[in-house]
Each structure stands twice: as structure tokens, then as C-alpha cells.
Amino acid sequence: MANPLNLKTASASGFDYVRLENAEGAKLVVFGAPNTLPSPSFFGQVPNQNIHALVALDPVPDLVVITHPSLVQPATELAEMHQVQDGMVVHLVTTEQIFNEYSSGGQDISALRDYVRSYFQFRGDSIGPRYVMLYGSGSFDYLPHRNRLSAPNHNLVPSFQTWDSRSRSGGSHPSDFFYAAFSPNTSSDGVVNSSTPIWPGIGRVLATTAEEGFAYNRKVQHYQESSDCFGDWRNTVTLFSDDMEAAWESSFITDYPPNTKTTDCNDK
């Protein structure tokens, strides 16, 4: 405002508004009538936090774990396992902490992405976490409180949903690549390719309860500590694919080495 003292209050159609007189580009600020405004209600306290300061800490973490508040205990256990077994620097935060600081408390998948992105931005896009782990199940339905599904909706760490729900060419799918693709030309449909690569490696633990999380941790621990888990099987890759619906999918057959067996799932 060029002159904040030059204000005039008026009423029209049940609304009170404040108008800035005789100023170039003047704007109206409109307020509802006092008797129609809803009353505020107490939702809860927000504890002090500063995960922006966590982002700025050195050394840069090797692994960032993002989990739901209900899964903090198993997520912390797994983070400590990677610290001890792999010598990693690990940062662990909850979705609630990220939403409080990056999206004013509201659930917003962009807030999760912005948090991961901020590690790189703080260092001039030159360095950031090597890995991101989403510890908790996601769902295509972001509003489980509406009970729109007959089955339980475990929307703990939300997933990115591609924009075209009717596409038969691969355009409709959930994706976590959204949280790790930061190139300026990254498309809004979540597709990742050579021009829009992911920056950190990203994966998800599909736990819906703390019990499931601890069970997953036991599997990881067994793999890390048992010599039985080291063998030739680690050089064997099995790929599963649906039947071909587009010409480019023929590469699954033509580009395989001679000793690779391909099977159409429709034949089984």
C-alpha cells in the first residue's frame, strides 16, 4: 500500500471491506460479516521443531528416512541398523514434521518433495542424500477419513498419483520417483527418463503397522548378518511383464540375451 493511512471502510451485500483510496493499482480486501464467520476450534499443540536446521547440518546424510508418526519406532530401529552396519549418516523425520514446516500443517505431497529437495538446494544442487526411504504404506486415496473404500485405507506416507487415470499406455500409476526428480524439466505426470532423472535413490517399506515394520526389519537384519544370504542367487534377475500392448514393449523379448526365458502371463 502506498498510503496505509488512507483507508475507508464500507459495506455492501452483507460484507465489510476495506478500500485503499486514490492509489494506482488499488486492491480490495474483503471480509465476511462478523456474525457469519466460523468460530475457531482447538486442534492441538505443535511442538517446537526446526528441520530446516537439520537440512543444513554437516555431514550430508547418506540416507533420509521419512515415516509416519505411528511407525517411528520401527523406522528408528532400521535407521540405527544402517548406521551401525553400513556406517551411514541417517536423518529421520515424520510426515507430520514435514507438513508442519513445509505446507502449513496440511497433507501435501509437494511438501515431502520440497523437504528432500532442500538438501540439494542448500548446497547449490551439488550434493545431497544418496538415498531416501519412505517408511510406511501409501494409497491412491488421500482422504481415508471419508471411508470411501470397503478395505482399510493405509495412507501413511502418501504416494504420488499420475494425472491420467484412464491411460492404458502406462500413464496411470502411483510413483515415488516424484520425490526424487528435481530437474527443471521434470513433467507433472511423474514420468522419469533420461532427461528427468531421479537424484537420490528412493524406495519404500510397505508397513501399515509397527508390527509389520519390525517384521521387515528382522528380514533386513537377517540379510545383513547371515552368511546364508550371500550366494549366486544375487546374480540372477527375474523380470515379470504383462502381455505386449505397444510396439516398444517388444524390446522385452528382442533385447534379452539368448539364454533368457520369456513367458507371456496370459498363457498361465
Tell me: do 26 and 112 sit in the same domain.
Answer: no
Tell me: do 17 and 142 sit in the same domain.
Answer: no
In the chain, how many domains are there? 2
Tell me: do 123 and 199 sit in the same domain.
Answer: yes
Which of the four pLDDT bands, split at 50, 70 and 90, describes residue 167? low
Burial of residue 10, with CB atoms counted within 10 A of its CB: 0-12 exposed, 13-18 middle, 19 or more buried: exposed
**For the chain, percent of residues with pLDDT exceeding 70:** 63
Cα→Cα distances 154→95, 145, 147, 174, Å: 14, 11, 11, 14
Tell me: do 23 and 79 sit in the same domain.
Answer: no
Q: What is the pLDDT of residue 175?
A: 82
In a domain, 46, yes or no: no
Provide the CATH number for the domain around residue 63.
3.40.50.10390
Q: Is the pLDDT of residue 26 over 70?
A: no
In a domain, 195, yes or no: yes
Tell me: do 20 and 95 sit in the same domain.
Answer: no
Tell me: do 22 and 70 sit in the same domain.
Answer: no
Tell me: do 177 and 56 sit in the same domain.
Answer: yes
> Span 79-107, mean pLDDT?
95
User: Which of 213, 228, 243 corresponds to the end of one domain?
Assistant: 228
Q: Is the pLDDT of residue 57 over 80?
A: yes
Highest mean pLDDT among 27-36, 91-100, 150-159, 176-185: 91-100
Q: What is the pLDDT of residue 232?
A: 76
In a domain, 95, yes or no: yes
Tell me: do 22 and 55 sit in the same domain.
Answer: no
In a domain, 237, yes or no: no
Tell me: do 104 and 19 sit in the same domain.
Answer: no
**Is pTM beyond 0.75 here?**
no
In a domain, 149, yes or no: yes
Tell me: do 90 and 179 sit in the same domain.
Answer: yes
In a domain, 101, yes or no: yes
Tell me: do 71 and 14 sit in the same domain.
Answer: no
Instruction: For the chain, give the number of residues.
Output: 268
Tell me which residue range forms the domain holding 26: 7-36
Closest CA to 25 of 47, 54, 56, 3: 3
| Phi, psi dihedral angles at 245 (to 5 degrees) | -120, -10
In a domain, 2, yes or no: no
Tell me: do 203 and 109 sit in the same domain.
Answer: yes
Which of the four pLDDT bands, split at 50, 70 and 90, describes residue 193? low
